[in-house]
A and B are shown apart, each in its own frame.
Chain A
Amino acid sequence: QKEVEQNSGPLSVPEGAIASLNCTYSDRGSQSFFWYRQYSGKSPELIMSIYSNGDKEDGRFTAQLNKASQYVSLLIRDSQPSDSATYLCAVNTNAGKSTFGDGTTLTVKP
């Protein structure tokens, strides 16, 4: 079992729809959770961080964390073609390295 698992994708949604990206992790000691967006040929860009159970909203993005289920998700509302990218889930225990999932590629079709 991988330490951080994401939907294998690719995920395709129409413009204006909600895109839902999921991630599960195996280390119960994990304390920090991140979502990054990576455009082709570019480095990852942090879009959301979440540390406690519940929802965290930032504009069109909502991160949801459930530590009991070891699950973290990212919702993108009103998806735009510019949201088309690979989304990486990352988890760390604060003191150590971040562990990344393999990423889910999202395509938003106009």
Chain B
Amino acid sequence: GAVVSQHPSRVICKSGTSVKIECRSLDFQATTMFWYRQFPKKSLMLMATSNEGSKATYEQGVEKDKFLINHASLTLSTLTVTSAHPEDSSFYICSARDGATRNDNFGPGTRLTVL
């Protein structure tokens, strides 16, 4: 149980394009989902907290207009990296909070490479 999927797992795109990443909780409802970014050999960096049906809460220094988050249902949140640039290349990971267990369950991550 408590499975979270992410799609795509890997994406390579040209500079200036937008990339959408989906995060789904497959067997539980997640009122809250979190989006993280992790650079090689660095710790997880929380980007934003996404609550179903409301606007996301972004961490300091994270541009709202560049990283668009939508949490339209209790099982799906999306992160869109708009006008991606090489410095946006990173490992993007979502987690979904299971209200019943209080556990945060991580998706497998999306590796983004911007050329």
Which A residues form the contact surface with B (CB < 8 A)?
A: 32, 34, 36, 41-46, 49, 51, 88, 90, 92, 94, 96-98, 100-103
Interface assignment of B67: CB less than 8 Å from any CB of chain A: no
| Known contacts A98-B34, A100-B44, A102-B43; A42/B103 CB under 8 A | no
List, in ascending order, chain A residues with CB within 8 A of B107's CB. Answer: 43
Q: Quick one: closest A residue to B104, CB to CB? A: A98
| Known contacts A88-B44, A97-B49, A100-B43; A34/B104 CB under 8 A | yes
Q: Quick one: closest A residue to B101, CB to CB? A: A49
Q: Are B106 and A44 in contact (CB under 8 A)?
A: yes
Q: Are B104 and A46 in contact (CB under 8 A)?
A: yes
Q: Are A97 and B109 in contact (CB under 8 A)?
A: no
Q: Are B102 and A32 in contact (CB under 8 A)?
A: yes
Interface assignment of B68: CB less than 8 Å from any CB of chain A: no
Q: Quick one: closest B residue to A99, CB to CB? A: B46
Interface assignment of B93: CB less than 8 Å from any CB of chain A: yes
Q: How far is the CA of A44 from the CA of B94 in the complex (A)?
A: 10
